[in-house]
Structure 1
Amino acid sequence: MRAIKLFAKQRKGAATTEYENLVLRRGVGVEGDIYAIAGNPRQVLLVDTPALAEFGLNPGDLRENLLVDASIDCLASGQVLQIGQTALVRVTFPCDPCAQLNQLQPGLAKRIKGKRGLLGIVVRDGLIHAGDQIQIAPYRFKPLPDNAKGRFTEFVGRIQPGKVVSTAQLLMALGLARSYYRTIPIFLKKAGDRSPFIASLAQTVACSQNICPF
């Protein structure tokens, strides 16, 4: 399996640019890319050529960082990929299609669900080149849920009591789009007020959305 093409997107609304090499920074992502943010589980997007062929797409259309020359269906959350000589990327979860894909083809966002690619975070620095081999490294992290509610439950369980988390921070940590702003309070409500922490987090989220009743 090889990364046959490399891309990065420098600003919102811009097209991806193809590069011969990219610098991956641990905990940050692709140097110069719009998603190079510490704590963001969407730092790197891998897409495979079978997906492009199936939907009649061109390299870069799915805004991938790495286009892989073989199916990535065998990869799973928690696995670590070595790309080139030193870079390591932890697979986090599948990339959910967004409505913008419908600009490429009507209805594409719905049809490509489950085949949009895999997201990951950089766990070791490295310079990668187009054509570099991708290997499964002998390391393994705990897999993350592939759905928003599952990731919310897992993440909230790790927040220390007294820690304040804004909605924006929560969405970034969960790898969710801003369209989920109104969904987070629903998750909190379903979680119940079993502890002062849950109640406090619910109040923080409500206030950050300017719907604070207090």
Structure 2
Amino acid sequence: MIDEHLITGAGGGQVLALALRAPHSAASTLVAQLDAIAGTGIDGDRHADPLSPRQVLLASAAVYADLALPAHTLGENLLVDLDTAQLASGTVLQIGDAVRLRLMFQCEACGHLDAFQAGVSGRIGRRRGVLARVLAGGIVRPGDRIRDLGRILPAWDDDWRARVAQVLRALPDGMVLSYAQLARLAGVQSSYCRAFPRLVKGLGYAGKAVPAQAAVGLRCWQGEGLFDDDAG
């Protein structure tokens, strides 16, 4: 559990709307409440995954207003009245009375956004939203207050390359990591695996992260313990 004596922040905001992205669906659905599950994510959401740093996405309502975006363009779970671009990794937010989220890193703007509005991926910058893991579960509803509890957990880098390096540094001795699992743990799309051979070699971990077929019969790490900081 998080030590209450470490809580320093007093600022916050409010949850304005909630959405769920069901498994095998790219579309978001407006919902009246979300069930956040500690260590896993949002119940019934496509990104619920105990070994992912991107369980929950928070986006700012101001971005929708400023860029005139259609609803759910950003694919957020929580639409909030905070400037998510100013929220630092390692910050813990309390949502309502029970739910706590650990902010991980800013979400990259991908080309898929341009399907909603031409060129928006290039204009949005750091305002795509911030990704988080669920520390403490409970029900989230529109109108819930958001309290900033401060930067009380280790930070993760916004740069995906730095996150890959962070995961590789945590790799236990004598074990390897498949490219697919590396992408999962670093919070990047599977398409990034094409860049892994050169990147992994350049980081000095050649042979430590390998294609799935090369990992057969080896001691493969799944990421156990990587997010133990969630326990506070």
Gaps of 5+ in 1: 193-197, 210-214
1:139 deviation in Å?
A: 6.2
SS in structure 1 opposite 2:86?
coil
Give the 5 Å matches for 1:61-210: 61-137=73-149, 140-192=152-204, 198-202=205-209, 204-205=210-211, 207=213
In structure 1, what residue type is equivalent to 2:23?
A: R
SS at match of 2:208: helix
Q: Distance in 1 between matches of 2:138 and 2:22?
A: 19
Percent identical residues: 34
Once residues 151 and 114 of structure 2 are traced to their aligned partners in structure 1, the CA distance between those partners, rounded to angstroms, is: 37
Q: Does structure 1 residue 51 correspond to structure 2 residue 51?
A: no
Aligned Cα root-mean-square deviation (Å): 1.7
Q: Contact 1:185–1:206 (CA<8 Å) still a contact in 2?
A: no
Deviation at 1:41, TM superposition (A): 0.8
Secondary structure of 1:142's partner?
Answer: coil
* Aligned AA (2:37): R
Structure 2's unaligned 5+ residue stretches are 1-12, 216-232
Q: What TM-score comes out, normalization by structure 1 length? A: 0.89
Asked if 2 retains the 8 angstrom alpha-carbon contact of 1:84 and 1:128, the reply is: yes
SS of 2:206's partner is helix
Give the drift of 1:108. Answer: 1.3
**Distance in 2 between residues matched to 1:145 and 1:108, nearest whole Å:** 23
- Residues 138-173 of structure 1, C-alpha deviation per residue, up to 9 Å, x if partnerless? 561111111011111111111111223211111011
Residue 12 of structure 1: how far off its partner (Å): 3.0
**Which 10-residue stretch deviates more, 157-166 or 85-94?**
157-166
The one-letter code sitting in structure 2 at the alignment partner of 1:205 is P
